[in-house]
Structure 1
């Protein structure tokens, strides 16, 4: 119900967090002695029923029962579909399908049905996926009264788009251009206006500069907001393709405006930013300090490093070359090597060279 993953990254017995499924089983066992006697370590033989396959079966069973309840509630009423396609992390094309319908009380109900893997995003492939899904749940395409997609050619094309292919089978399945996608286009076009573009750029810079400082003050309770609103009032960067994220950023900025002014005044008076990495002057000072430290190491570091190396080798019984002996490179015989001592090779060719690379 909360959209939490069952399995954890590490489900071994010595793991500090075995994932939601196993951790909840532990809680259940701790609350009921009768259940604890037959669960996890106390399970008879290997009948723990906690393997990844079992967890997947439980998820699939829950999915089936929930979807069955949705379809049963819908009965044979008319409905609409919302469809959008994208790639998952494994680069597989998939299509998300949501149904809309009006319940007995006259309220519009929206229910997510399934993610359908498709071969490609052509209109024909999408239509086959939708027909297969509706058939699986006993829904008839003749009951379809609305289609909501984005404005891509494969979705809204007048002749070969998905909406046209479905309209050929059901002329009552009216197409509606997804309003959310329209807002995204509106935002994209609006940003071409110099004043609006300047406004959002200013907001972005403001969030970059002040976001961390303001969040830290809220966390310390130095900035008081209404009870229960701290999580919603953080200044977050807006996304490039989501109108709602821009709206949320502006709304939160309005709510926190007095605090934003306080933080800006503090920054102005003290000449600092909330992160040193964002202060270019301080960064350059750090670079100069680092160069000075490297120079000191280059001039005096070898004398302190060599005794540490010899001590380490002695502790772990590692054979140490005679540093005054002639250095012999791998694959070369001694008489063919240049007459350089080991100490010269390790100090000049390695130690100094690495520090020079840092410079």
Structure 2
């Protein structure tokens, strides 16, 4: 009776319901503030945590400070977060931050899986050691989307206990399988050249080809070929020693800001004298000041830039070192300058300096061209072949002209030129090396050997089978009114390299379809006047002609899946470079994979609404509660 007399609005059930509903609303608001903070920090690629996150700290870290900023602009948020939140429901702990990142990263991976669907794809893989000396492997997936556009999506960072081929193969397969990818759809492999040529990546390539023979390996153009070529050149003893000497000289000249300024003063004085004597021209952008550049292990073209800077600033650098040798503050400074001068005055150093400048200058043209976003399969092999041809001509016919250039440089700077007809000695005169002459040493042991390793490196990256594959693919080139179009070559491409994707009946039908396609493409507004196979694929999808020429479209997509067309390769390399940078910084393993995928695939993350992320976060929390 007494319950019936109570005001229904004050019933205990409704009161509790109201309180519960209000608390849920506050909790959701707190979580949203944390989600927005975590997403923004991840997209900017900055640290979450602070050294001191206590309430009295002047800087509580980016995550907490960002929530403070949110609360300063919204009274409703301010009344529910941080100090105004219950102790057990602040939603700002490191564990909560990791859960939010995990939800975002999982949504990105699911989106990538949806984008790929049943399409064929390639893998681009690189590995690096993190700050705690753990090996981490980055995986990028390359595919052609429904719009006919090449996509390269950063998918995961996986810890591996070592870099043996079996370990890498197992880790990649497990990662793909855990996200429900069909490994039988793998149609290409691309790896870092330097690691690949040491054997462990060769083994990985072989393991995939054994089970999936159509997963062709093509050197990934997204990786900087120049780095691998530099690494190969160091197999020549004289070149390896040269780079050690080069680093020492650059450090000796650039050891302090004072020396840097001194180099600029000396170089400015030299340029002024040349201008006064009308030995060099003047004008906008000419004769700009520069300094010696250090060669980096991960910076593309840095070795060429370092070598070129030494040649350009040779006289000024020599003068600076002479001044340090004479007036240095410490014995160490004077000693370093003396050693650097001795190295710079060595004929072998000058010989190798000019040789590598010519070699890397030649290969640099190829490397830069392969990174151009409009570059395509058609021109890639042509550029490789031309570069090998130029290097071979240099080896076979360029000795005399190169030696004349070295001798002129030495005469200009007063460097002693050895007698090429006498026996060559290593170090002391008593250490005669196999009674070879100086001419033989410089011509064959350095000149020929340094060029040979470059040619062999280029040859090993583009195996005969892959070269044929890419050459047949060039028959699909739409440039110049489909001038290279060859129906027999295209059918041979499908029959020989993609037997799992085309039956014999489909190949017969492909030949007839190609005839109709060729006639249509040359006059269709969306298919004529194209400059690459990638544009052709997009044109087919955009115009709806992909349905009419389904077999042609299928073959084009398979060709574009190979990691050689660089329409988006620059993005893949940028992702790899970022991964290595983060791995080598003090970055928590818990944030590594999820944080990187959010940062790199920001275009996908931007499509997620706050309510969608909140819903997935709540689902994650509920699953964890049930598991307990």
Q: TM-score, normalised by structure 2?
A: 0.35
- Aligned pair partner of 1:84 in 99, 120, 126: 126
- Cα offsets for 1:253-285 (capped at 9, x unmatched): 69xx89x99999899889878x9897449xxxx
Cα offset, 1:174, TM superposition: 0.5
Partner of 1:184: 227
Partner of 2:184: 142
- For residues 17-166 of structure 1, the aligned pairs below 5 Å read 17-104=59-146, 106-149=148-191, 150-156=196-202, 161-166=203-208
Cα deviations by residue, 1:121-176 (Å, 9 ceiling, x for unpaired): 333332221111112222211211111232232321xxxx2222222222110012
Give the structure 2 partner of residue 14 of structure 1.
56
- Structure that is richer in helix per residue: 2
Query: What CA distance in whole angstroms lies between the structure 1 residues aligned with 2:158 and 2:165?
Result: 14
Aligned with residue 253 of structure 2, among 193, 209, 212: 209
1: CA distance, partners of 2:291 / 2:243: 19
TM-score, normalised relative to structure 1: 0.57
Deviation at 1:43? 1.5
State the secondary structure of the residue aligned to 2:218.
strand
CA contact (8 A) 2:186 2:212 kept: yes
- Cα 1:74/1:267, change in 2 over 3 Å: same
Where do residues 131-280 of structure 1 align in structure 2 (5 Å cutoff)?
Answer: 131-149=173-191, 150-156=196-202, 161-178=203-220, 180=223, 183-190=226-233, 192=236, 201-202=245-246, 205-206=249-250, 208-210=252-254, 212-213=256-257, 237-240=294-297, 242-247=299-304, 279-280=333-334
Q: How much has 1:30 moved relative to structure 2?
A: 1.8
The one-character-per-residue Cα deviations of 1:266-310 (angstroms, maximum 9, x if unpaired) are 99889878x9897449xxxxxxxxxxxxxxxxxxxxxxxxxxxxx
Residue 278 of structure 2 is matched in structure 1 by none
Greater relative contact order structure (CA < 8 Å, 6+ sep): 2
The range that moved more, 96-105 or 57-66, is 96-105
1:171-222 Cα shifts (integer Å, max 9, x gaps): 11001245647533421344548689758955763465347538998xxxxx
Between the aligned partners of 2:243 and 2:160, the Cα distance in structure 1 is: 41
Q: Which residue of 2 aligns with 1:5?
A: 47
Root-mean-square deviation (CA, aligned residues, Å) is 4.2
In structure 2, relative to structure 1, the CA distance for the partners of 1:58 and 1:245 (3 Å cut) is farther
Distance 1:74 1:235, change over 3 A: farther
Other structure's SS at 1:30 match: helix
Aligned residues: 262
The 3 A distance-change label for structure 1 pair 211 and 27 is farther
Structure 2 match to 1:356: none
CA contact (8 A) 1:215 1:235 kept: no
- Any gaps of 5 or more consecutive residues in structure 1? 218-232, 282-359
The separation in 1 between residues aligned to 2:53 and 2:318, in whole angstroms, is 47
- Pair 1:44–1:247, CA change in 2 (3 A): farther
The DSSP-based 3-state class of the residue aligned with 2:126 is strand
